[in-house]
A and B are shown apart, each in its own frame.
Chain A
Amino acid sequence: MFHWLEKHPFFFAVGVFLVISFAGLIEILPNFAQASRPVIGTTPYSTLELAGRHVYIKNSCNACHSQLVRPFKSETDRYGHYSLSGEYAYDRPFLWGSKRTGPDLWRVGNYRTTDWHENHMKDPAGVVPGSIMPAYRWMFTNNADIDTAFAEQLTVAQFFSVPYNKPVPMKDGSTTVVKMGSSVAEANALALAEAKLIAADMKDQDVKDAVANGQIPEIVALIAYLNSLK
């Protein structure tokens, strides 16, 4: 057979290709599948969090803030545990970024709270002297787009089997269920219920009134998203 192959360079090349591809596949694929599986404790984004993620992207927060903690002592001291690939399983697309004009935000939910974000988005330099981050006051008046967030939820649930309405394992051994509405009205109701919890911790009376009236300002969705980054 080798004699024959040596006389037929095309089939020889095909054979080489097959052997190397096979070796590559059995080496790369299992590891890749393992690493891209969600880490225990990683949950899909709720409707409100997803709407907040859209606000985050719309305002190009990712242009100045990365979402990837590298495995260096100086970074883990500041931001917490280094990022794991499976933690991004529900990020479409991931927002790693490579430019840090501001700090990394991948675990910001661990060390900042709703009221801090509220103060900070209104007047960054008021809480962080010398901060060059601009204020995002329009987020307190513009309403978040819940319908689009729900549309994304439906899509990823259907095409990527993102486990909405299904038990998701947590680190302490328990499970949690991230709910997704079955209609636009239900999705809006779920988002509003979540928004009320956020608004309760906020101080801005206009935002509180808006949420009480059934509206969801962008800031509420954004804070829900930032709080979910852990």
Chain B
Amino acid sequence: MNKLYLWGIIFTALMLLFTYMSVAGSEGGLNDDIVNILAIAGAVALVLISVFVVIKYVRQMQTDTADGQLADESWDGIGEYLNEVPKGWAIMFLLTMVWGMWYFTVGYPVNAYSQIGEYNEDTAAHNEKFNAQYASITGERLVEMGESVFLAECKICHGIAADGIDGKAANLNVRIEANVVKHVVENGSNNSLLGSEMPMPDRNGLFNNNTGALITDAEIDAVSAYVANGMSGAGADVFAGTCAACHGEDGKGMEYVAPSVATFTPELVTNILNHGKKGVIGEMPKFDRLNAKQKEAVGAYITSLSK
């Protein structure tokens, strides 16, 4: 027998022995562990294939002789045969070219990774999930959602308790405070509220129908206290004479004319979120990046605060 085959058999036997020892000695061993059995099978296959391939090529090196015609070109003494291109290789080469064309024109452009593309997919998936879970919530759940949005976006100015942090922003636990009413009456207002086109005039356009004259300082103070006090106390006559024409006798506002000054309404809050607001306290930026449901929820939460 050829010495080469003998070494091959010895090597194979040794490798199989090592494999068996290392697997059998490991945790689980060969009993009922499919992974270990697979590993053994794989190792056996590897050893056999390796030994077979090595023996084949060593034999070839020992016995083969070169034939064929050499090319004229010689690179520092290294020649090249003018053999036919092997068929399998040629087919693979052509297939690679076809694949390359596909990849260049379709494969890469259509399937390429894009960070923005992933962002768009994430956003679409999130919006779909949001709509499925929250698009139709009402009542208590809407208020809860409003509270969480409030704590994320609004508390930074209005405070966790929505009290406006000592006058740094509007106190949302009450509908409106006297200094705000006073400022609006004196300076007018147009915060694009409720689709109303006509701005509220300043004090030079506000007549008290009871007296038939422009509203006076004393009347402004009285009506400010009246509105801030939740539409009660002194000043009711001034409100009826001056403000009720637009804001309604109960102060609850009129659609497309004026907002409610007696209570918050979700429509009012949504409007302020869409347009922002500027008044005596300061300026509030618009928060139109909240989606419609979130705005509605914030409106529900703020409305629930002052009840």
Using CB atoms and an 8 Å cutoff, list the residues of chain A in contact with chain B. 6, 71-73, 76-78, 80, 82, 110-116, 119, 126-129, 201, 203
Contacts and interface: CB of A to CB of B under 8 A. Distances in A.
A72 B165 contact: no
A115 B165 CA distance: 13
Contacts of A127: 156-157, 165, 168
Given A71-B116, A73-B122, A201 B156 contact: no
Interface in B179-195: none
Contacts of A203: 282
A201 B280 CA distance: 9
Interface in B95-131: 115-116, 118-119, 122-123, 126
B285 A73 contact: no
Q: At the interface, is chain A mostly helix, strand, loop or mixed?
A: helix
Contacts of B115: 71
B165 A201 contact: no
Contact of A114 (B122, B157, B282): B282
A110 B168 contact: no
18 contacts: A71-B116, A71-B119, A72-B122, A73-B119, A73-B122, A76-B119, A111-B153, A111-B287, A113-B282, A113-B283, A113-B285, A115-B168, A115-B283, A116-B157, A119-B168, A126-B168, A127-B156, A127-B168
Q: Can you list the 3 inter-chain pairs with the closest CB atoms, starting with the nearest?
A: A115-B282, A71-B119, A113-B283
B219 to A, nearest CB: 28
User: By CB atoms of chain B within 10 A, which of A110, A113, A128 has the most?
Assistant: A113
Nearest to B123: A73
Contacts of B9: none
Given A73-B119, A82-B119, A127-B156, A116 B287 contact: no
Nearest to B283: A113
Interface residues of B, number: 23
Contacts of A77: 289
Contacts of B4: none
Contact of A73 (B126, B156, B289): B126
Contacts of B58: none
B137 to A, nearest CB: 19
Contact of A113 (B119, B160, B284): B284
Nearest to A129: B160
B80 to A, nearest CB: 12
A128 B156 contact: yes
Nearest to B124: A73
Interface string B264-307: 00000000000000000111110101000000000000000000
B54 to A, nearest CB: 35
Most chain A CB within a 10 A radius of its CB, from B153, B281, B289: B289
Interface in B146-178: 152-153, 156-157, 160, 165, 168-169
Given A71-B116, A126-B165, A127-B168, A116 B122 contact: no
B166 to A, nearest CB: 8
B299 to A, nearest CB: 18
Nearest to B288: A110
A110 B165 contact: no
A110 B289 CA distance: 10
Contacts of B116: 71, 82
A71 B284 CA distance: 26
A78 B115 CA distance: 19
A76 B160 CA distance: 23
B172 to A, nearest CB: 15
A110 B285 contact: yes
Nearest to B277: A113
Nearest to A201: B283
Given A77-B289, A115-B281, 19 more contacts: A71-B116, A73-B119, A76-B123, A78-B152, A80-B289, A111-B153, A111-B287, A113-B282, A113-B283, A114-B282, A115-B168, A115-B282, A115-B283, A126-B165, A127-B157, A127-B165, A128-B156, A201-B282, A201-B283
